[in-house]
Amino acid sequence: MSVGAYVDSVAKKLGGKIDVVEYVRFERGEGVEKKEDNFADEVASMIK
């Protein structure tokens, strides 16, 4: 469902008009950095 369609459906339920002034888009996982491990280095550090 688009933002416009959702706003229109809520406005219809409320019996008025809604104007979207500003919105922010978030994406799931955005800004989350995946940690990259080197398994060989981990094993070598345990042996020392």
What are the pLDDT digits (tens) for 1-48?
888 899 999 999 999 999 989 888 877 776 667 777 788 888 888 887
CA–CA distance, 9 with 43 (Å, rounded to integer): 58
**Residue ranges per structural domain of the chain:** 3-47
| Cα–Cα distances in angstroms (integers) from residue 24 to residues 3, 20, 21, 27, 40, in the given order | 11, 11, 11, 10, 42
Determine the pLDDT at residue 44.
84
Determine the pLDDT at residue 31.
67
Determine the pLDDT at residue 47.
85
Determine the pLDDT at residue 40.
83
